Amino acid sequence: MIPPKPEARPDQVAFWRHVRLFRQDILSAQPARLYRAWMAEYRTPFFRSFLCNDPGLVARVLSGRPGDFPKSGRVGEGLRPLLGQSVFLTNGATWERQRRIIDPAFEGGRLRDTFPAMLAAGEAAVARLAEGRQEIEAPMSHAAADVIFRTLFSIPIEHEVASQVFAAFRDYQRSQPILNLAAFLPLPGLLPRFHRAETRRTARAIRALITRLTAERAEVIAAGTAPDDLATKIMTTPDPVTGRAFGTAEMVDQVAIFFLAGHETSASALAWALYLLARAPEVQERVAEEAMGLPEIPAFSDLSKLRLTRDVFRETLRLYPPVPMMVRQAARAERFRDRPVPRRAQIVLSPWHLHRHERLWERPDAFDPDRWQRDEARRSAREAYIPFSAGPRVCTGAGFAMAEGTLLLALLARRFRFSPVAGRDPVPVAHLTVRAKDGIWLDLARR
């Protein structure tokens, strides 16, 4: 089964047309040749950009010499009002300190500890769904936000502050392009950032609500009555090097990225996974059968039984990676594939193109979850599969996301049968994450 992907633009377009296309949707703004190219260079009046699909170059940037390729400040321009100095945007010593504090919350048995909250959110999502025709991205966003609030602050999405954050974030999504205009100009940090008034307003509202949650948690931590959830773990973990923990302002930045990354990306992947199952009914029935073999109330250990369901989620992340492109900056002059790469050049790593690369995957555009049990996919996955990035900056919540996606997909598939709606094939577009231009519409029937 070949699911939809956006039409590529012509190979040659004027710079300002490319900027307009890029701000509308970075996927259709790219030429089709990138699905075969090992590297492509793009020159603007203000900087040079290199998109790298060569697995050796990807490994060099992300894993081999990550310190020489820090996060690009150009991408951060658009997200700064919401994320501040979060771990997603920082570099160097600041980022290292943040990761030393955050990483322990997601290590070892902590995932097992968060499972009951994750399960409760999944069961609530199933209970909210009804039979009939509906757009599925919205309820998946609701479900993913519920997972974040339950695991982070031990509150459901119905909580007053949680529901306000969720509503404000929907407004933020509608106002925020994936790249701010300043990203295309020289020295973006020294020029006006061109943020829309609505973007600034919603970012302030979200941060004020998160500040309220964080301050309240600090009070109960001080009183010794805080629940043992992710927020408590992170706020009470001192940096082993400096001995300092996050203050309230620093924690607000981190909670903002936990919500953005943990909710927006999971919602995108879950919605596309349900669409792919709807388009492949034979795979959907196998997933439902696997899920029905679980106990009525699954335990964390039961996740290991969901082998096919996990492969479906993994294949969804290959075809529709929530974060379609990552941008680094060359800290010094480099040479890529016998081409000079100047200092401060933008290095673009594209999971979207890498995961569908015609020289790296068999039938790259096909939905085939069984490929993950074949040797060819295992080889390709080692070289050309980075839905959570790789190297030191790999997403700290990657294991959390895989457990969440697999569990929620199983809970949904054992209760409902999903069917596509004729004439309403979704068109992938990328804004904050890969979503559908007009939503993903499915018909739901109870099993």
Q: Would residue 396 count as lying in a domain?
A: yes
**Which is it for strands 416-420 and 428-430: parallel, antiparallel or unpaired?**
unpaired
Whether 254 contacts 246, CB under 8 Å: yes
* Separation in Å, CA 87 to CA 84, 178, 217, 226, 402: 9, 18, 20, 24, 20
The pLDDT, as a whole number, for residue 184 is 47
Quick one: pLDDT band at residue 362, thresholds 50, 70, 90? very high
- Is 90 exceeded by the pLDDT of residue 219? yes
The CATH number assigned to the domain holding 216 equals: 1.10.630.10
3-state secondary structure of 315: helix
- Residue 7 maps to a domain: no
Query: In this structure, is residue 156 part of a structural domain?
Result: yes
Q: Which of 429, 444, 360, 442 is nearest to 4 (CA)?
A: 429
The label of the residue with tokens 């990676």 reads 321
| Residue 22 confidence (pLDDT) | 54
Mean confidence (pLDDT) of the chain: 88
Could you report the per-residue pLDDT of 318-327, keeping only the tens digit for each? 999 999 989 9
Query: Residue 63's pLDDT is what?
Result: 96
Answer yes or no: is 381 within a domain: yes
pLDDT above 70 as % of the chain: 88
pLDDT of 190 reads 47
How many other CB atoms are there within 10 angstroms of residue 51's CB atom?
22
Task: Determine, yes or no, domain membership for 318.
Answer: yes
Which of 308, 285, 253 lies closest to 81, judged by CA? 253
Query: How large is the average pLDDT for residues 19-30?
Result: 62
pTM (predicted TM-score): 0.91
How confident is residue 171, by pLDDT bands cut at 50, 70 and 90?
A: confident
pLDDT of 76 > 80? The answer is no
Instruction: Indicate whether 420 belongs to any domain.
Output: yes
Lowest mean pLDDT among 58-67, 145-154, 160-169, 426-435: 426-435
Per-residue confidence (pLDDT) for residue 16, from 0 to 100: 47
Please report where in the chains the tokens 């034979």 appear, as a residue: 282
Domain that holds residue 389: 15-446
Contact 172, 82 (CB under 8 A): yes
Instruction: Give the model's confidence band at 180: pLDDT under 50 very low, under 70 low, under 90 confident, else very high.
Output: very low
**Tally of domains within the chain:** 1
More confident residue, 168 or 372: 372
Domain membership of residue 4 (yes or no) is no
Residue-by-residue DSSP string for 282-319? HHHHHHHHHHHTS-SS--GGGGGG-HHHHHHHHHHHHH
pLDDT at 175 over 70: no
Bridge partners for 134 per DSSP: 442
Number of Cβ atoms within 10 Å of the Cβ of 88 = 21
Please check whether residue 154 lies inside any domain of the structure.
Answer: yes
